[in-house]
A = this chain, B = another copy of it.
Amino acid sequence: MTGVGVGIIGTGFMGKAHALAYRTAASLFPLRARPVLEMVADVDHAAAERAHRSFGFRRLTKDWRELVADPAVHIVCITTPTALHYEMALAAIAAGKHVHCEKPLAESEAKAGAMVQAAEAASIRTQVGFNYLKNPLLGLAREMIAGGELGEITGFRGSHAEDYMADPEAPFTWRLDPAGAGVLADLGSHIIGLARFLLGPITAVIADLETVVKERPVVRGSAERRAVTVDDIARLTVRFARGCGGTIEASWVATGRTMQLGFEISGTKGALAFTQERLNELLFHRAGGPASRRGFLRIEAGPEHPPYGFFCPAPGHQLGFNDLKTIEAADFLQMIEGGPAKGPDFREGWEIQKVVETAVRSSRVRAWLSVP
């Protein structure tokens, strides 16, 4: 068994999550090649040192280009702010590395498209960090839909609402960069990705985006303000290629909500409801049974929902957020070893970005637009 060198750029929330995920995936999943935390890169040297020490990376660097170029690094994880994804990914692809990039893939669909082209031309493998899709119960939901348990789908209602920007004094960050979308890129991409994961392509959209907090302090506590131009709330009505319609909402000013990533799907034979607030539960209604026993079934995650069983042999014990990231890493490692392509890859990240960007334009022109 030889090792697969993992290099991680960035040591924040997602950088740590990637490090932990690759390490844990190596232990819990049946992989042929053992992943090795080969190198970590952070412009903040102290941060890189902390990560190096905590996660047992073999080496560290301040320069992500060094990481990308290193021959012992086979997978490059990009966990930096969105605006940096493009340059880093292209460099990693050029160096022949597999790339695991955080979401959203890029701040524009044009850049995302270029990343896809580069990746596909280079025949390297890609993964985008839409970790919530890795929930075993969402895998079940997708399988139920694909298998016809819900009949013909008639509607989708989805949202991703949190409140981390609800405080008007929350400072300006890179997430508010006028070059991209705001919440629609940050959280909206999750629920758009989930809609596509379950129901397939979105073909048209009408959107209403608004900026609730018009200016924010440049840093917390500062009197100096910077104007915010991106969306705090995005409301989309969409049409799917399969023929049904739906609504999608994203908000980061949804006071009191910390993880309201959820949906309700109706079909002619059944329905599903889910919220990431209770990520180990999936509600399922099956039409047509005896009316006196009618209702929603609360399916609880267990080893029958792969790959839950790699984490715990007993049902009801529950997965957490970091476990979803571990599944993401394991799926990518397995694909690199020749296993099935579970995605979402760069192409899917691009498709999601197209919906985001079409929605932004739709909101500006106040009209329905086709997703290219």
Contacts and interface: CB of A to CB of B under 8 A. Distances in A.
Contact of A258 (B166, B314, B319, B321): B314
Contact of A311 (B163, B237, B320): B320
A247 B247 contact: yes
A216 to B, nearest CB: 14
A82 interface: no
Interface string A311-322: 111111111111
A123 to B, nearest CB: 30
B154 A233 contact: yes
A175 interface: no
A162, A292, A299: most-surrounded residue (chain B CB, <10 A) = A292
Interface residues of A, number: 93
Interface stretch (A72-80, A85-93, A261-269, A338-346): A261-269
Nearest to A362: B206
A212 B154 contact: yes
The A interface, classified by DSSP as helix, strand, loop or mixed, is mixed
Nearest to A366: B368
Interface in A2-58: 13, 16-17, 19-20, 23-24, 26-28, 34, 53-56
Interface string A51-69: 0011110000000000000
Contacts of A161: 264, 266
Contacts of A270: 255-256
A5 to B, nearest CB: 15
A302 interface: yes
A259 B168 contact: no
A206 B237 contact: yes
Given A27-B20, A27-B54, A297-B295, A258 B208 contact: no
Given A255-B285, A292-B305, A317-B320, 7 more contacts: A26-B56, A247-B247, A255-B287, A258-B314, A292-B299, A295-B299, A367-B367
> Which A-B residue pairs are the 3 nearest by beta carbons?
A258-B316, A320-B320, A256-B285
